[in-house]
Amino acid sequence: MTSDFDDAPRDVDYRNTSQRPQFDDLPPVVRDALAEVAGAPVMEASPSVTSGFTGAYAGLLTLRDGRRVFAKAAGPAAPFALEAVPREAAILRRLDGRVTAPRVVGAGPADDWQVVVLEAIDGHLPGMPWTAADAQAVHATCLELAALPPDEVAEVTEESFADAVGADEMSLTCLDELASGEREWPRGIPRLSSGQADELAALGHRAATRLTGDRLVHADLRPDNMLVEPGGRVRVVDWNWTARGPAWADFVGLLPLMAHQGLDADGMAARSPLLEGVPDEAVDSFLAVVIGYMAEHAQHPTWAGTLDVLRAHQRQMARTFLAWLAHRRGWSAAGTAQS
């Protein structure tokens, strides 16, 4: 890869990407609902977490009976989270603590808000920066997700990863327009040559047939959706986009960030049983369609209840996925990143 792929803005710090209300800022009916679904009055509320991309409440609560729980609450000011909270609660109830997911304590509506109370998990975010130990622990968790039998996966989700990601029309249109020159390359992402851009678009259009599968895919696995417990086990949180797809998708989705921070992504891919027998073209098609998705959405205004750092995250994802794909396919940057 050329230096053009490294000539980019500072990396997103996933520990500090949100501005959320504190527990005391919530309407009384919402605070009461959290206590009700938690099963005990709230005695102490820790400061809201600063990870994630929505403006919804999220934080640790200590209850009168001594339990600690993690609570989320979303209202009309955060419409994305308002839909996501009950969706995640339903998915987590079906998972019932399997594959490192947190258990649900309780969930429900509170006037025009939605709340969920989950098992509290102590740990640190991986990838701050990525270390070999964190990468190995994350890989072990990806193996655990992939081991869930297909019949149990079908009980958790009916969503198809191939349809939701591989056949996403906005992503594919973005790749086509970048290749044709109808669209400018987004800020912070190096331009490819005409031939490389054509190849990128062609790869993206193959993703729908390459991303079929019957295994559990979290589909949004990134540093702030994982916690490394003190014992080294990685717990996966924020289960909003769960789908059925290839066993390798979640792990491959993390490799570009690991490569960007100096880890041997090629070696990890070669050694992983998740990728045994998987054609390079399948991996590259996945990388391509994600580049299209991130490049498309990075150019949109942020929606209500989110911060501009969401778009910085999407530009970083497009940039790192493109860098690793270019490395895998022997491309070099044809131009500099847009500033």
Q: Are residues 276 and 158 in the same domain?
A: yes
Tell me the CATH number at 7: 3.90.1200
pLDDT, residue 205, reads: 99
**Cβ atoms of residues 216 and 148 within 8 Å:** yes
Residue that terminates a domain, selected from 95, 119, 143: 119
pLDDT, residue 40, reads: 99
**Cβ atoms of residues 115 and 108 within 8 Å:** yes
Q: Which domain holds residue 205?
A: 3-12+124-329
Torsions phi, psi for 303 (to 5 deg):
-85, 170
Q: Are residues 230 and 314 in the same domain?
A: yes
Q: Residue 169: is it exposed, middle or buried by C-beta count within 10 angstroms (0-12/13-18/19+)?
A: exposed
Q: What is the pLDDT of residues 272-321, one digit of tens each?
A: 999 999 999 999 999 999 999 999 998 887 765 566 788 889 999 999 99
Distance CA 193, CA 277 (A): 31
**Cβ atoms of residues 116 and 86 within 8 Å:** yes
Q: What is the pLDDT of residues 53-67, one digit of tens each?
A: 888 999 999 999 999
At a CB cut-off of 8 Å and minimum separation 6, what does 261 contact? 11, 127, 129, 130
Whats the size of the chain, residue-wise? 339
Instruction: Tell me if 18 is assigned to some domain.
Output: no
Residues of the chain with pLDDT under 70: 1-9, 303-307, 333-339
Number of domains making up the chain: 2
pLDDT, residue 301, reads: 76
Q: Token pair for residue 204?
A: 């993206």
Q: Are residues 134 and 282 in the same domain?
A: yes
**Phi-psi region for residue 216, left (φ > 0), alpha (ψ -120 to 50) or beta?**
beta
Distance CA 234, CA 100 (A): 7
Tell me the CATH number at 41: 3.30.200.20
Residue that terminates a domain, selected from 119, 139, 154: 119
Q: Are residues 103 and 157 in the same domain?
A: no
Q: Look-up: residue for tokens 């989320």?
A: 72
Distance CA 226, CA 101 (A): 10
Under DSSP, is residue 69 helix (H, G, I), strand (E, B) or coil? Answer: strand
